Amino acid sequence: MALLAALLILTIPAFSETRLSLNDAVRLAQEASFAVKAARHDSTAAALQSAAAGAERFPVLALKAQSYYVDKVQKVNFPFGSQEIGSADNYQADLTLTVPLYAGGRISNLVQVQKENSLAEGCRLESETMAAAYRSRRAYLAAMMSEAMVGAAAASLQRIDIIRRDVENLFVNGLADSLDILEAELALEKAHTQMDQVQTERRNSLASLARLVGMPGDTGLVLTESALPPETTLYPETGPLPEPDRPEMKRFDHVIAAADRSTALELAGLLPTLNGFAGYSYGMPNRDWFGKTWNDYVSAGMVLHWELNLGGKNSRRVGAARQQAASARMAQKELYDALLLQRDLAINDLRHAFQVVRTSQRTWDLSRRQFSLAQGRQQAGRISVNRLLELEAELAAVEQQYHVSIISYYLAENEFFYAIGSPRIFGGL
């Protein structure tokens, strides 16, 4: 134990420890993800665009003011003299209030298009958030696996060191030769090399996790989760599986609705618009062409505007909008099929991972018992040191396989949760 403690002190850098649970990792990864932040900005922008579209229903107040100088003013000649028309110095200010009375569905459809776009961006934000949770869980589990490998390597190192000390005692008593000592020393060197490798992998996995949750790569993370072997399968071999409920599917619902509304918006371009207006004008000479005094007037009325492109522009744009809606529907069906396949493959992997845990658990128990019996036989001189070291190597491999199988199960579970869009992906084990 003293050798193991000294080894761990020498191989693990001295960091200020930061305890991190899986729930914390999921939360921090969402906060640190640039993809989530970008999606949040896009969602906010889409919401503002939707609000701006709704404002099209309100009146528009416009102010226009201008001042200019004309060097030549036209004149009208009369028998008794002449009269200038207008003024060299011109000042004009117009205040106009315009109210949409009829837009042929342009405003209502534009509002719906922007609303559906806003909802679609909200779903994309959910999608990026779920993806960040998925990545953080995967990274956390990978770090747990690397720590389990360190523990298995440390246990193997401790067993080999005990064998080496037993061989030295046997050698002193004349029950072992120099070849046995060399074999024990060689096995110990290999165990040190294995320990160094798994320690490096552990540091790398923790550095990757730290970056993902927005911490410096040299942060000394301490994982607080413990992965226990699963007791039952998540879903039995028979029975229905949950339907994929990913935000990407919901996003396509809104994309399709926006495309349908865009078709209606293009159709509205074939109809006229009617606006009411009221205005106030003040200036000089304003409407008094012959005077050079300040005056004002008030006007009110309606404007009918109807524009039809003779080249078929409107009808072609309607057709293009319909094709975009059809394309969105096809993309949604393709995504649904892909998610179904991902779900089915994930549940198959999950069920297989559960069986591997059970098998490796029994194998590890048998290997420990076998090694314990072999130790007694070797000390009694009934088996060679080489055979005992072989059994220890087999035990170390089985122990690593057991720890790997447990983490592999939770990794497969993570894949399944992500495939079906389960909210459990935001929680712990």
Whole-number pLDDT of residue 380: 74
Of the candidates 239, 244, 240, 250, the one whose C-alpha atom is nearest the C-alpha of residue 337 is 244
Q: Return the sign of the alpha-carbon dihedral for residues 244, 250, 251, 253.
A: positive
What is the pLDDT confidence band of residue 259, given thresholds at 50, 70 and 90? very high
d(CA 275, CA 58): 12
Question: Of the ranges 33-42, 52-61, 380-389, which one carries the lowest mean pLDDT score?
Answer: 380-389
Q: What pLDDT digit, counting tens, does each position of 298-322 carry?
A: 999 999 999 888 888 888 988 998 9
Instruction: Tell me: cis bond preceding 285? Omega within 30 of 0 counts.
Output: yes
Average pLDDT over the chain, rounded to an integer: 87
d(CA 389, CA 187): 7
**Of residues 334 and 164, which shows the higher confidence score?**
334
pLDDT over 50 (residue 12): no
Contact 86/293 with Cβ under 8 angstroms?
Answer: no
* Residue ranges per structural domain of the chain: 2-32+104-270+325-426
d(CA 80, CA 374): 137
Which homologous superfamily is 2-32+104-270+325-426 in?
Answer: Outer membrane efflux proteins (OEP) (1.20.1600.10)
pLDDT over 80 (residue 192): yes
Whole-number pLDDT of residue 366: 92
Whole-number pLDDT of residue 233: 76
Whole-number pLDDT of residue 139: 94
What is the pLDDT confidence band of residue 13, given thresholds at 50, 70 and 90? very low
Question: Of the ranges 28-32, 237-241, 356-360, 367-371, which one carries the lowest mean pLDDT score?
Answer: 237-241
What is the pLDDT confidence band of residue 236, given thresholds at 50, 70 and 90? low
DSSP structure string for 115-169: HHHHHHHHHHHHHHHHHHHHHHHHHHHHHHHHHHHHHHHHHHHHHHHHHHHHHHH
**How much is the pTM?**
0.81
Question: Of the ranges 43-47, 76-80, 310-314, which one carries the lowest mean pLDDT score?
Answer: 76-80
Whole-number pLDDT of residue 277: 93
Question: Of the ranges 213-222, 292-301, 355-364, which one carries the lowest mean pLDDT score?
Answer: 213-222
